[in-house]
Chains A and B, each alone.
Chain A
Amino acid sequence: MLAILLMIDDREKRDKLEELYITYHKELFFVAFQILKDYYDAEDVIQTAFVKIIKHLDKISKIKCKKTRAYLVIIVRNLSYDRYNEKKKIITKDFSEEFGEDAYKDTDISLEQYVLNLEKGKELAAALNKINPSYADILTLRYFYELSNPEIGELINLSSDLVSVRLHRAKAALKKILSKGWDYNET
Chain B
Amino acid sequence: MKHNSLMDQNHSLELEKNFLKHIGYEHGNLLCDELDQKEAEWRDLKTPESLDRWFYQFHKKYKRRIQRRKFTSSFIKKAAIILLAFLGIQAMLITTVEAYRFRFFDTIINFTSKFTQIDFVENEPDDMVNLPKDWAGKYYLSYIPEGYQLVNSEFEHGNGYLKYENGLGEVFRFFWISGESTTLRTDSDDKDMKKVMIHDEEAFLLKKDKMINLHWILNQDILTLEATGLRNNEIIKVAEKIKQLK
Contacts and interface: CB of A to CB of B under 8 A. Distances in A.
A140 B28 contact: yes
B51 A122 contact: no
A69 B35 contact: yes
The 10 closest A-B pairs by CB, nearest first: A144-B24, A70-B28, A30-B42, A140-B24, A125-B27, A143-B20, A125-B26, A1-B52, A121-B26, A114-B19
A29 B43 CA distance: 11
B53 A1 contact: yes
B22 interface: yes
B55 A70 contact: no
Given A67-B28, A124-B23, A140-B27, A109 B51 contact: no
Contact of B35 (A25, A73, A141, A171): A73
B58 interface: yes
What does DSSP make chain A's interface, helix, strand, loop or mixed?
helix
Interface string A114-145: 10011001101110110000001101111111
B111 interface: no
A29 B59 contact: no
Contacts, number: 132
A128 B51 contact: no
Interface of B: 1, 12, 15-32, 35, 38, 41-43, 45, 47-56, 58-59, 62-63, 66
Max chain A Cβ within 10 angstroms of own Cβ: one of B26, B54, B58: B26
A141 B31 CA distance: 13
B31 A109 contact: no
A50 B45 contact: no
Given A2-B52, A129-B30, A121 B59 contact: no
Nearest to B38: A30
Contacts of B35: 27, 30-31, 69, 73
A66 B32 contact: yes
Nearest to B35: A27
Max chain A Cβ within 10 angstroms of own Cβ: one of B23, B59, B66: B23
11 contacts: A5-B56, A39-B48, A110-B1, A111-B1, A114-B15, A121-B23, A122-B26, A128-B23, A129-B30, A139-B20, A140-B24
Nearest to B29: A66
A172 interface: no
Nearest to A174: B23
Contacts of A161: none
A43 interface: yes
B17 A143 contact: yes
Contact of A25 (B1, B24, B41, B55): B55
Contacts of B54: 43, 47
A71 B29 CA distance: 11
A54 B32 CA distance: 22
A119 to B, nearest CB: 10
B16 A109 contact: yes
B184 to A, nearest CB: 101
